[in-house]
Amino acid sequence: MIDGLLAGLEWATQFSDPLAWLVLAAFLVTAALDWHGERELARYVGVGGWALFGVFWFSLVYHFAFVQKSIIEGIGAVVAVPAAFYVGYLLWNGRDSLLVLSRAVLLMGVVFFPFESIPVLRQLLVETVTRQTEFLMALTGHHPEVANGAQLDLPGVDPDPYRNTFVFVNDLPYTGAEESHRITYTILIACTGIGSMSIFAGLIAAVDAPWRRKLRALAVSLPVIYVLNLFRNVFIGVTFGEQYLHVFPDLVLTVFGSEELPRVSYFVADRIIAQSLSVVALVGITYLVVRELPEVLAIIEDLLFVVTGSEYDLRAALEVPAVAADGGEESPSDD
């Protein structure tokens, strides 16, 4: 039975890209209808969009949980399925504030999917991040070879033909083998930070607020995410390549369902330490954003209602100053 379930989850992954475009199309129509004052029709189309969004996340469960072996992303994908359907249910029942969240998802996709689906943009971003990661690695005293991923014999991997793979040579003393072992760390689109940046860009662009405060919110989020992501890449690449975090190998390999001893350092560095710190960093960045753009709190309050079923007043809890009723700046100093 379990094998059949896993096979079904794996089969569903092939539909993730088409589903993503359908979701964006549905939310685009929703936003257009809402813009033109067709609120009721926009609500119905938005419900369909959220239903598709739930199916989209279902199609990614296998990828995150069993291909990427990411505990945080795997759980997130599983939770997102019923959450998306519940958002649609709430929207159907008149919680029209969720139309702003629908618009935010649309704008997130507008930022993210060009880099995901257009090869020239994906290559430009991936290789730029690779060069900057290489520079920072050199500052730490590590100088691995950087190779074209498609020219390397990487088992079970179909890499893009980009200069994006760091090659470390390590003796792996814990294996008892005398020959050196090649360890590769490849920068993929997921390693560029574009996913997190698109989330904040979508949230900021979706709310109704003066463009000056939106620009300030972008300034305290996107550059910070980009720089932190570079340090994340250096940390993972060096600790994995040099095997600095080869700890509790039996436990780590059991948890992540792997038998590859060299990947222990990778699982600890990326899946445990880096992803956990990323959650903390994103919470901190969110706080900086809402200080500049309190309107974003309305979206976050809606998300908390979806998760908990309770209403929250985050502006009061965080002591965030109120904005003018017309959405303008609070004082002349905001100009």
Contacts of 285 (CB under 8 A, 6+ apart): 200, 220, 221, 224, 225
Please give the C-alpha separations between residue 142 and each of 36, 53, 89, 207, in angstroms, as whole numbers: 56, 42, 52, 44
Q: What is the mean pLDDT of residues 208-212?
A: 94
d(CA 195, CA 192): 8
Give me the mean pLDDT over the 33-45 stretch. 93
Q: Check whether 296 has a pLDDT greater than 80.
A: yes
Domain membership of residue 48 as a residue range: 1-96
C-alpha 73/C-alpha 166 separation (Å) is 24
Which position among 43, 122, 191, 271 bears the catalytic label?
Answer: 191
DSSP string for residues in 244-301? TT--SHHHHHHHTT---TTHHHHIIIIIIIIHHHHHHHHHHHHHHHHHH-TTHHHHHH
DSSP-derived 3-state class of residue 330:
coil
Instruction: Assess whether 161 and 210 both reside in one domain.
Output: yes
The reply to whether 56 and 172 lie within a common domain is no
pLDDT, tens only, 234-281 = 999 999 999 999 999 999 999 988 888 889 999 999 999 999 999 999
Q: Is 271 a catalytic residue?
A: no
Do 92 and 127 share a structural domain?
Answer: no
Is 232 marked active-site?
A: yes
pLDDT digits (tens, 9 = 90+) for 98-154: 999 999 999 999 999 999 889 999 999 999 999 999 999 999 999 999 998 777 766
Does residue 130 share a domain with residue 218? yes
pLDDT grade for 158, boundaries at 50, 70 and 90 = low
259 and 299 in a single domain? The answer is: yes
Is residue 317 predicted with pLDDT exceeding 60? yes
pLDDT at 334 over 50: no
* pLDDT at residue 325 in the model: 44
C-alpha 40/C-alpha 20 separation (Å) is 24
Catalytic entry in 43, 232, 263, 271:
232
**Same structural domain, 15 and 70:** yes
CA-to-CA distance for 291 and 92, rounded, in angstroms? 31
Residue type, 222: L
pLDDT, residue 66, reads: 83
Q: 């109704």: which residue's tokens?
A: 208
In a domain, residue 112? The reply is: no
Q: Do 128 and 264 belong together in one domain?
A: yes
pLDDT at 156: 53
Same-domain status, 167 and 243: yes
- Per-residue pLDDT of 225-239, as tens digits, reads 999 999 999 999 999
CA distance 86 to 180: 53
pLDDT of 324 above 60: no
pLDDT at position 170, please?
83
